[in-house]
């Protein structure tokens, strides 16, 4: 099994990242997922 590589927040901040691609004007970044619904219908279980 491969060892999990971890980084801390300081390292994460200095890593260059590609700019976000926005869809729908400046409202949502591409790749964002939203899971919404009424209470107690299994959103947390679905997200797992």
**For 11-43, what is each residue's pLDDT tens digit?**
999 999 888 888 878 888 888 888 999 999 999
pLDDT score of 1 more than 90: no
Residue 26: its pLDDT value, please? 81
More confident: 32 or 6: 6
The phi and psi torsions of 22 (rounded to 5 degrees) equal -95, 140
- What is the model's pTM? 0.41
Residue 25: its pLDDT value, please? 80
What are the C-alpha distances in Å from 26 to residues 31, 38, 39? 14, 27, 29
Using CA of residue 31, residue 16, residue 27, residue 46, what is the dihedral sign? positive
pLDDT score of 3 more than 90: yes
Please report which helix (H) or strand (E) contains residue 13, including its range.
helix 9-14
Residue 38: its pLDDT value, please? 96
Q: Are 20 and 30 in contact (CB under 8 A)?
A: yes
């Amino acid at each position: 099994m491969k060892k999990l590589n971890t980084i801390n927040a300081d390292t994460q901040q200095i890593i260059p990242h590609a700019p976000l691609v926005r869809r729908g004007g400046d409202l949502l970044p591409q790749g964002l997922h939203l899971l919404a619904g009424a209470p107690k219908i299994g959103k947390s279980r679905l997200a797992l």
